[in-house]
Structure 1
Amino acid sequence: MKETNHAPGSWARCSLADVVVLNPKNDANAEQTAGFVPMALAPTDYHGALQHEEKLWGEIKKSYTNFADGDVIFAKVTPCFENGKAAIVRDMPSGIGAGSSEFYVLRPASKEISPSLLFAIIKTQSFMQQGAENMTGAVGLRRVPRTFVESFPIALPPLAEQKVIADKLDTLLAQVENTKARLERIPKILKRFRQSVLAAAVSGRLTEEWRDRTGLPEWGVAVLGDVIGNIDQGWSPKCHNEPTSDESWGVIKTSSVLPMAFLENENKKLPDSLDVRPQLRVLASDILTTRAGPRSRCGITCYVSSTSKNLMICDKVYRYRVIEGNGSSKFLALQLNSPNVLEKIETLKTGISESGMNLTQKKFRQLELNWPTPEEQTEIVHRVDQLFANADRIEQQVNNALARVNNLTQSILAKAFRGELTEQWRQDNPELISGENSAEALLERIKAERAAQKPSGRRKKIRKTEQAAT
């Protein structure tokens, strides 16, 4: 990794293969209970827990990737690798487990190699980015090659420093993830806030005091068909599978209609061979409602505040407006997005399956609504716009903060492997990074241990000769 070039001189330069055993096998009794980890149970967060199922070792040992407590596992296949699916294996039944064949397993080659350090290495941007760049295989099923993992360059700290680095990373990254979790809760809170604002707006509570001061009458009940004009329905010609640009025309997709939000880039370009239908053009102040599709996408309504493209409505979308003098189209769109009215719309849908629901014009026009005076509708829209604008500003600030927090994880990891997190510690503890405690001495011990574990070629030959003689 690129941090290797900037690591302290007391760290030993080597490759991952020098300090790990890649994809080792477990030797265990077939009747033992073991942990089983399909890819779906692997976490993506730095401190995410590795979940497991329980199975007999004999059922999983041959067809799946073996691992044990203290190993580090990570996904090698796209998109799981890019998503960061990885974990330190802990608390497996009987201390052993097996999982998806799309895992790589890193087992420390010595007790003097910290699993936490190995895990931090594979979480660095260098490892993730270079791993993705080196993937091989067909599109959609690309994998990180074994040779990349084995040859990946690292700078190995002395044992004592490994532990200090791991402890600092645990502390700092736990703080980062706690901050991220708190920030990620805010959009859900804002969503509930917007729903509460809508409920108050369409029930009259939002403008109750204002209505009393101005002497306006209480709300009445109106039927949708009485307050809107014609309901237009578009067409769905065979279009290019790309959005329109410049002055060309396009037909909107149903995905362009979100609750109170119109996404004009969700469209398909009209072929030059087809004539434009200007009467179907989407204009500012239009209300759009999806009339067909899966249950969750049928009956979705947005208000078109503005549009910069030449777009026509498609066959699965209704387009309509409030009749001038009857009220505000934007207020009606707010009504159609409020919790109570959405429940009513749900009862109007028909269809034989969840994936194919319909909202007919006849039923839709019969929808009952609470309907204030046009003056109060204007005041409601003004207040809702202000409250929603404040919520939007907060959400944008949260998103900006989340982006900074996400970058902070990689910044901390980079500092760790440049030795910056332990710079003062090294100055205070020179005896723990030199002599027999040095990283070079550690690397030599690992090489010696590995050499001792390998039977010599001569001994193998003698054993075969003895067997032949008998």
Structure 2
Amino acid sequence: MSEAKLPEGWALSILSKTISANGLISDGDWVESKDQDPNGSVRLIQLADIGDGDFRNKSQRFMTPESANALNCTFLKSGDVLIARMPEPLGRACLFPSVGQEAVTVVDICLIRTGEKAAISNKILTYWINSPVIRNLIAANASGTTRKRITRKKLEQFELPLPPLAEQKVIADKLDTLLAQLETTKARLDRIPQILKTFRQSVLAAAVSGKLTEEWRKVESYLNWNVIKLEKLIMASANGLSKRSGKDGEETTILRLADFKDAVRVYGNERTIKLNAKEVDKYSLANGDILVIRVNGSIDLAGKFIRYEKNEEIEGFCDHFIRLRLNQEKILPEYLIYVSNEGAGRQYLKSSLSTSAGQNTINQTSVKGLDVPLPPLKEQTEIVRRVEELFAFADNIEQKTNAALERVNNLTQSILAKAFRGELTAYWRAANPELISGDNSAEALLGKIKAERDTLKKQPKKKTAARKKA
């Protein structure tokens, strides 16, 4: 923002000149593991504690007062501005609220204490740092290859638009109100995915218990269901291909778990192996086959069922899967997925896992022992239709929720940008010219700070104690 475009009474100033003479801009302290003590009474504030406008109070690292003093640590004060010099996101800032005990911060957090008689309030400084303009400036000035960083020295030299102090309070109050309303909206939207997850689980539970089609069954005069072992519904089963390369035969795609995301096929990273005719016959997949995750480090994935949809080309499967070829005159693959991946079916499969060296494994015998509540094929078709219809409804709500969340996030940045340009307080400035001019202008405030600094420079330096306590 150029000076020509500044609102009346505002000024441009680098960050280091906006804080008072008794203020502070400093890196955090270099505290190594050997300096920490879980029984210490001094809290060590870390990057995980710094939210995008909020203090998250997540970390649990401590040190003793003796170690903090020996390292000449800077003790935090309530209201200090903390800026994360590493992602994510880079440059996020929050106010330190006090944590009920002495606290210091790690070196990757920049500490700014505006001090008494500063030209900028700690609230406005936090909002400015989190605004799109400064966040983009931070990104442009970051260094590093694997993890970007912003240095304190660069932060000190950033030029900020500076409103008069009275206007800063009005801006901060407006932002507090508007952003609190947005946070309330965002919190409500954030709850919707969990509500939809519970809804989907309830739909599947109703589907495999018969409640979803209870009225339909009465109209169609269908009898009650039977419970049958999965083994009686399978025509064939097999573990996948174990070899990782072949010398003879046709190049054939061998599916791995990496070729699926949330049980949906993804493309672009397939692995091919040469298979001879016998191997192709043994390991090829047919439409409607079920792939069971035979082994995986995650207990939430091992034993999960995936429905295979036929590709144009012949595809096989690796030994991380068990292939089930169903008798589709008795059971639909889609219906079996409902039974196996939720509720009692999923609990049975998880309880059948064996664990060794961090890997969870299930065998064919356990898979075939799954109890399947089995309705007639016509009712299975109706169940699948209803589940897909209800899931499509939930998916539509989720898409709208995600779009609304994106709009809320964009609106937050838009509001901060308007505040940064002075647009939120245009009417207030017109109504209160005496509060933004003369001695109340930002230029006057900066002049007073400069005069105070010049006076202090002429005074003899005092000896400082090792402990930099708040």
Q: TM-score, normalised by structure 2?
A: 0.84
CA distance in 2, matches of 1:366, 1:121: 62
Say whether the 8 Å CA contact 1:252–1:266 is kept in structure 2. Answer: no
> Please, what is the CA RMSD of the aligned residues?
3.0
Query: What residue is the counterpart of 1:68 in the other structure?
Result: 77
CA distance in 1, matches of 2:142, 2:309: 45
In 2 relative to 1, CA 317–265 (structure 1 residues): closer, same or farther, beyond 3 Å? same
Q: CA deviation at 1:235?
A: 3.2
Say whether the 8 Å CA contact 1:33–1:93 is kept in structure 2. Answer: no
Q: CA deviation at 1:281?
A: 5.1
Query: What residue is the counterpart of 2:128 in the other structure?
Result: 121
**Which runs of structure 2 are paired with 1:44-443 in the superposition (5 Å)?**
44-50=51-57, 56-61=64-69, 62=71, 66-77=75-86, 79-82=87-90, 85-93=92-100, 97-112=103-118, 113-137=120-144, 139-235=145-241, 250-257=253-260, 261-265=263-267, 267-270=269-272, 279=281, 280=283, 284-294=287-297, 295-304=299-308, 312-353=316-357, 355-443=358-446
How many residue pairs align between the two structures? 437
Q: CA deviation at 1:88?
A: 0.5
After superposition, give the CA deviation of every residue in 1:249-301 in whole Å (9 maximum; x if it has no partner).
64433244455x31323743437x78897554555433222110122220122
Q: Which runs of 5+ in 2 are unaligned?
A: 30-39, 246-250, 464-470
Query: What residue is the counterpart of 1:245 in the other structure?
Result: none
CA distance in 1, matches of 2:210, 2:458: 85
In 2 relative to 1, CA 3–384 (structure 1 residues): closer, same or farther, beyond 3 Å? farther
CA distance in 2, matches of 1:238, 1:5: 68
- The 3-state SS of whatever aligns with 1:8 is coil
CA distance in 1, matches of 2:382, 2:302: 29
Tell which deviates more after alignment, 124-133 or 324-333: 124-133
Q: CA deviation at 1:70?
A: 2.1
In 2 relative to 1, CA 15–274 (structure 1 residues): closer, same or farther, beyond 3 Å? farther
Q: CA deviation at 1:414?
A: 0.2
Q: CA deviation at 1:46?
A: 2.4
CA distance in 2, matches of 1:214, 1:35: 68
CA distance in 1, matches of 2:308, 2:74: 53
Say whether the 8 Å CA contact 1:251–1:267 is kept in structure 2. Answer: no
CA distance in 1, matches of 2:80, 2:313: 55
CA distance in 2, matches of 1:161, 1:93: 32
- The 3-state SS of whatever aligns with 1:378 is helix
CA distance in 1, matches of 2:103, 2:396: 48
After superposition, give the CA deviation of every residue in 1:211-243 in whole Å (9 maximum; x if it has no partner).
12212121111111111222243336659xxxx
| Highest RCO, 1 vs 2 (Cα 8 Å, sep ≥ 6) | 2
CA distance in 2, matches of 1:444, 1:323: 86
Q: CA deviation at 1:130?
A: 2.7
Q: Which runs of 5+ in 1 are unaligned?
A: 27-31, 240-247, 464-470
Q: Identity over aligned residues, as a percent?
A: 37
Say whether the 8 Å CA contact 1:12–1:155 is kept in structure 2. Answer: yes
The amino acid that maps onto 2:270 is K
Q: TM-score, normalised by structure 1?
A: 0.84
Q: CA deviation at 1:306?
A: 6.7
Say whether the 8 Å CA contact 1:256–1:263 is kept in structure 2. Answer: yes
The amino acid that maps onto 2:328 is E
CA distance in 2, matches of 1:303, 1:158: 64
Query: What residue is the counterpart of 1:468 in the other structure?
Result: none
The amino acid that maps onto 2:435 is L
In 2 relative to 1, CA 411–288 (structure 1 residues): closer, same or farther, beyond 3 Å? same
Say whether the 8 Å CA contact 2:53–2:95 is kept in structure 1. Answer: no
CA distance in 1, matches of 2:402, 2:27: 42
In 2 relative to 1, CA 165–308 (structure 1 residues): closer, same or farther, beyond 3 Å? farther
CA distance in 2, matches of 1:266, 1:66: 52
Q: CA deviation at 1:340?
A: 1.0
Query: What residue is the counterpart of 1:14 in the other structure?
Result: 13
Q: CA deviation at 1:49?
A: 4.5
